[in-house]
Amino acid sequence: MPDAETRTSAQRRFDSSWARDRFIDALVTQIEPRLLAIRRELHQHPELSNREVRTARCILYRLQELGIPDIRTNVAHHGIVATIHGARPGRVVGIRADMDALPIDEPPGLPFASTTPGVMHACGHDVHMTVALGTAEVLYRLRQHLAGTVKLLFQPAEEGPPPGEEGGAKQMIAEGALDAPRPEAIFALHCYPPLEAGQLGYNPGVMMSSCDRFTITIQGKMAHGAYPHRGVDAIVVASTVVMLLQTIRSRMIDAQQPMVLTVGTVQGGRRYNIVADEVVLQGTVRAFDEKVRSETEALIHRLVSNAVAGSGATCDIRYERLVPPLVNDSALVERMLPTLRRVVGRKQVVEHAPRMGAEDFAYFAREIPAMFYSLGVSNRAAGLDGDIHTPQFVVDETCIGVGVRAMTALVFDFLET
């Protein structure tokens, strides 16, 4: 056993962030082949939201294999919360990784392509889980150097639970994932194809938009197509409504405020020569600001109900708030930015603009200071640059080691500063 003086100097050597990064680099290089195997296993067996049974089993197996004793399962259906206690007391920090895949057919090509028809890890959540597992391994093996507690949250149903079901970040929070102990900050990353593997992206404030869904059911009156004056044509009314909805963005919301309104589906009509009695419109609203979000909701109700009433039809308007805007804690981002720059190099860390996509990590970010950052995954020289949520999505797997190094460094630095 080393004497006190040797231990102290060893500790001191480790405490220098430069030395610790080198140590972690070596550890990550050592575990990388195993991480790639885990990622490929997860990729090969993707599961849809709230159906992550095999995925959860795989994560649990790995956490138990590492020897982590404090594991809670079945959180928000198939979620897992694992807690790593450092040797010394300190603050509490959280890491979140999402688990679900998308209803997309993966094209053949990769030796570890999805074996489940119609389901694919096309949002990179297999990478996120692998990074979290790699981070868990590094932190657990270095727990004698850790001052504080790390909570790893493996979250199901990020893409949204199936109709009629609850799930995702909101339910994890409701089931106490952030309680006892409560993290003071939480980190998460997401695969981001516009950046190359080796790069990281950040945003100090609003990073992603809200995501809401509206469903407008217009009820007219059926008639023979030759005698439309005897009915109320739901298709004509719906057409007016679609055009009217465009004026919310162009004429009613402050031009300085980002907002998107998209009508995604129009369903109605029975036959070419029958006046349609019913049309259902569905669409989405995206905004960075809660006030704009509420204004848009109110405008949809007002414009649509007035237009429909004027036409003689009736309507039912359903507006569902799915995910709030994702707002990073600017003080936390500012504090952790030097860490990201140290890990991958100053020029490899880029600030990027907020995006109109949504992410249910936003619920965690509403509860505690959060930092959601982007993991570069592309390799354009090698032709790997497909976008997320498409069958072409593919990553350069060197991004996994980068993710583990970044996440581990964030945890150590957060707990020590």
- Residues at the interface with Zn ion (CB under 5 A): 123
Say if CB 129 and CB 97 are below 8 A apart. Answer: yes
Nearer to Zn ion, 102 or 152 (CB): 102
Type of residue numbered 252: M
Nearer to Zn ion, 123 or 326 (CB): 123
Nearer to Zn ion, 101 or 218 (CB): 101
Q: Minimum distance between the CB of residue 54 and Zn ion, rounded to whole angstroms?
A: 19
Q: Minimum distance between the CB of residue 1 and Zn ion, rounded to whole angstroms?
A: 47
Q: Minimum distance between the CB of residue 160 and Zn ion, rounded to whole angstroms?
A: 9
Say if CB 407 and CB 30 are below 8 A apart. Answer: no
- Residue nearest to Zn ion according to CB distances in the complex: 123
CA 379 vs. chain centroid, Å, equals: 22
Q: Which are the contacts of 341, defined by CB distance < 8 A and separation ≥ 6?
A: 349
Q: Tokens at residue 84, please? A: 């790593």
Nearer to Zn ion, 191 or 279 (CB): 191
Q: Coil, helix or strand for 193?
A: strand
Integer CA distances (angstroms), 199 to 192, 227, 316, 373, 388, in order = 10, 63, 47, 11, 17
Q: Minimum distance between the CB of residue 391 and Zn ion, rounded to whole angstroms?
A: 14
Nearer to Zn ion, 123 or 152 (CB): 123
Nearer to Zn ion, 317 or 322 (CB): 322
Nearer to Zn ion, 360 or 413 (CB): 360
Type of residue numbered 120: M
Distance between CA atoms of residues 3 and 22, nearest Å = 24
Distance between CA atoms of residues 38 and 160, nearest Å = 24
Q: Tokens at residue 162, please? A: 């199936």
Nearer to Zn ion, 123 or 133 (CB): 123
The packing angle between helices 125-141 and 17-44, to 10°, is 140
Q: Tokens at residue 231, please? A: 């009915």
Contacts 24+ apart (CB under 8 A), 117-121: 119/46, 119/47, 119/48, 120/46, 120/391, 120/393, 121/42, 121/43, 121/46
Distance between CA atoms of residues 111 and 44, nearest Å = 9
Nearer to Zn ion, 199 or 339 (CB): 199
Q: Minimum distance between the CB of residue 71 and Zn ion, rounded to whole angstroms?
A: 24
Q: Minimum distance between the CB of residue 348 and Zn ion, rounded to whole angstroms?
A: 22
Q: Minimum distance between the CB of residue 215 and Zn ion, rounded to whole angstroms?
A: 22
Q: Minimum distance between the CB of residue 128 and Zn ion, rounded to whole angstroms?
A: 8
Integer CA distances (angstroms), 184 to 81, 221, 364, in order = 16, 57, 11
Nearer to Zn ion, 123 or 407 (CB): 123
3-class secondary structure per residue, 29-58: HHHHHHHHHHHHHHHHCCCCCCCCHHHHHH
Q: Minimum distance between the CB of residue 43 and Zn ion, rounded to whole angstroms?
A: 14
Q: Which are the contacts of 108, defined by CB distance < 8 A and separation ≥ 6?
A: none
Q: Minimum distance between the CB of residue 125 and Zn ion, rounded to whole angstroms?
A: 6
Q: Tokens at residue 249, please? A: 């963005």
